[in-house]
Amino acid sequence: MTRQKIINIAVIAHVDAGKSTLVDAFLKQSGVFRENQEMVEQVMDSNDQERERGITIYSKNLSIQYNDIKINIVDTPGHADFSSEVERIMKTVDTVILLVDSSEGPMPQTRFVLHKALELGLRPILFINKIDKKDQRALEVVDEVLELFIELGANDEQLEFPTLFGVAKNGIAQFNMDTPSENLNPLFETIVTQVGTYPIKLAEQPLLMQVSTLAYDSFIGRLGIGRIYEGVVKEGQTVAISRSNGTVKNARISKLMVYQGLKRVAVSEAYAGDIITFAGIEDIVIGDTISDPNNIRAMDTIHIEEPTMSMNFLVNTSPFAGKVGKFVTSRNIKERLERELEVNVGLKVEPLENSSVEGFKVLGRGELHLSVLIETMRREGFELGISKPEVVMHNDAQGNLLEPMEKLIVNVPVEYSGTVINKLNQRKGLMLDMDSDGVRDKVTYNIPLRSLLGFRSEFTNDTHGEGIMVRSANGFEPYKGEIESRLNGVMVSMANGKTLAYALGNLEERGILFVAPQTEVYEGMIVGQHSRDNDLDVNPTTGKKLTNTRSSGTDDSVKLTPFKKMTLEQALEYIQWDELVEVTPIDIRLRKKWLTQNERKQHRSDKK
C-alpha cells in the first residue's frame, strides 16, 4: 500500500444545520457514486431511527479523494443528547468544519461542539450554510460566530478562522457572498490550505493509536475504530493494549480495514494519520491505547461529560407481560445494557437497590439519548417498564445541592409568546434575552433541566405546532426548589377486558382518551387524562344494558373523538412518580406502578 497524503476532518453543527447534506455533497463531487447510480439523501444516516427521526445519532466515518489527498470525514450528531459521540471523535481529526445556518446563527449546540474543538487546539473552518434563504443574514452571523469564539477563549490562531459561504443542498461553497461558485472546490482548497496533510515522517515512529469508536460484524466480531497517531499497523501484528485502569495486555490484530468512500476495504497495512477499523481483540473498549509492545505508551483517557438524566429500566410486571416480547427477564435486560455500555460511552448503568421490582438505573445525556436506546431494545424484542425520568443532582464542596441547567431558545409567533413566557417563568426559568421582528419572538432562557420534562408537548399545543424549541446543557446551579409538574390526573381502568365504544363515549366527557374501542386493558392501566387534578378509577369495558322493550327513537351510534396516541418520548414526558411506561415490541402503554386501588392507597403517602 502506497503512503497517501491524509487529512482527517469532522463536520460539526447544531441539529438541522445541514451536516449530513454537506457530507452527501462531498461524496457526490468526489466521484464515490457512479453517474447513473441513484443516491439516497443523508446517505450517512443509515440507522432506521436516524431516518425516521431525521437526525444523526451516531458519528460515522467515510473517505473521499481530492487530487492526491485522501480526506477522512466524520459526520457527527447535532443534538445535545448525543454529545458524547462528538466528544470522543474530536481527538481523531485535524480540523472541523463548523456549519452555521445563515439566518438562525449560532445555536446552543453550536457553542458546545465548538468549545470541544477549541479545547483540543483545533483550528475550525466556518461554513455559513443556506445562503439562498430569503431571510439570510450571513455577514451578521459571521460576526456572531466571532463573538462566540472570543467568549469561548479561542487563541489568536483560532480566531483567524477562514470563512466560506454556500448551499450544502446544491453542493456549492464560495469564498465570499459576491463570488458565485458551481461546486465545493473552494471548501476543499481551504481544508488543504488550513490544515496541511498529516506528517508522513510520523509513520517512522513506534506505533501509537487510540480507539474512539466500536462496531460489530457478525462474521469477525467486535471491531475497534481509531486514528493512527504514529507508526504503522500491519495485519497479523502483535500490539500492546493499555487500559484506563493501568493494565496492559498483548493482542494480535487479525484483520485491518480503511475507508474508501462509504466502504471499509481490507488492507495489509495502514500508516500514521489514517483512521482504521481492526478486528481480533474481543475485549477492546473505547479509550484503549494501542502501541508497540517494545515501546508501550498510554494516551489520556477520553473524557466524557457526566450524565444529566436517569430512568429505571424495570422487568415488565403487567398482566400482559411476555405476550409479545422475546426478552423479558432481568438477565436479558442486564446483558443487553452491558453490550450497550461497550459502544455508548455517554451511558451509565447501576443496579437498583431497595426496589420491589427487578431492574436497573440507566443514566444518560437526556430524554432523547435514553429513548433511542429504549426504542432500539423494543425493536429487538425486549419488554420493559420505564419509570419517570429524573435529573441527576450533584453536591458541591460545601454540600449544597446543585441541579443541571439548560440554555433554552424558543422561537414562537408573537401571539403565542406571552403564554410560553408565562409558563417558563412558572418553571423557574430566567430570561436572558428577547428579540422580535414583529412576526416571531426569539426568547433565550436559563432554566432547570427538570422544568423541561413534559414541556415539549405542552409547548407544541400552546404554539399550535408553529414554535421551535432548542436547548443544550448549561452547567450546574443551586437547586431552584419545587416546580409544578403535570396539573391533570389520569383515568385508570378498574377492570380487565376490551374497551367498548359505549363506555368510552361516557368517559370522553371526563377528559382525553388514550385508547380506542376494542383495545385490551387491565386493572391499573391508564386509559385517559382526567379533566381535573385527581386520578379517577373508571370502567372502560362497560356495555349498554339491554332490555326487552324497544325505545321510541332509534339509538344513535356512538361517535368518538379520535384518541390521543402517544409516542415513546411523549409517554416518558407525561408520566408521574407513581406511573410507568410499559414498552413492548408492539405497544406502548401507560400504567400505574401499583395496579389495584388498595395498593395505590397504601403507597399514596410515599409521594415525593
Q: Is 567 annotated as a binding residue?
A: no
Q: Is 480 annotated as a binding residue?
A: no
Assign residue 171 a region (left: φ > 0; alpha: ψ between -120 and 50; beta: otherwise).
Answer: left
Q: Is the dihedral of CA 28, 31, 33, 35 positive or negative?
A: positive
Q: Is 130 annotated as a binding residue?
A: yes
Q: Is 16 annotated as a binding residue?
A: yes
Q: Is 344 annotated as a binding residue?
A: no
Measured at the CA of 443, the angle between CA 438 and CA 449, to 5 degrees, comes to: 160
Query: Rounded CA gap, 16 and 27, in Å?
Result: 19
Q: Is 84 annotated as a binding residue?
A: no
Q: Is 292 annotated as a binding residue?
A: no
Residue with cell 423557574: 428
Dig out the grid coordinates for 514 from the structure.
Answer: 388514550
Half-sphere exposure of 598 (CA within 13 A, CB side): 0
C-alpha pair distances (Å), 387 with each of 326, 456, 581: 21, 18, 7
Q: What is the dihedral of CA 489, 492, 498, 501, to 10 degrees?
A: -40
Query: Rounded CA gap, 598 and 182, in Å?
Result: 72
Specify the amino acid at residue 354: N
Query: Rounded CA gap, 515 and 528, in Å?
Result: 7
Q: Is 154 annotated as a binding residue?
A: no
Query: Rounded CA gap, 442 and 411, in Å?
Result: 4
Secondary structure letter of residue 44 according to DSSP: T
Q: Is 129 annotated as a binding residue?
A: yes
User: Radius of gyration of the chain from Cα atoms?
Assistant: 27
Dig out the grid coordinates for 53 from the structure.
Answer: 427521526
Do 209 and 229 touch, CB atoms closer than 8 A?
yes
Half-sphere exposure of 303 (CA within 13 A, CB side): 5
Q: What is the dihedral of CA 310, 313, 317, 318, to 10 degrees?
A: 70
Q: Is 288 annotated as a binding residue?
A: no
All residues at 6 or more sequence positions from 456 whose CB lies less than 8 Å from its CB, including other chains:
469, 569, 573
**DSSP string for residues in 23-34:** HHHHHHHTT-S-
Query: Rounded CA gap, 592 and 576, in Å?
Result: 9
Query: Rounded CA gap, 62 and 267, in Å?
Result: 16
Do 253 and 269 touch, CB atoms closer than 8 A?
no
- The binding site for GTP comprises 16-21, 129-132
- The binding site comprises 16-21, 129-132
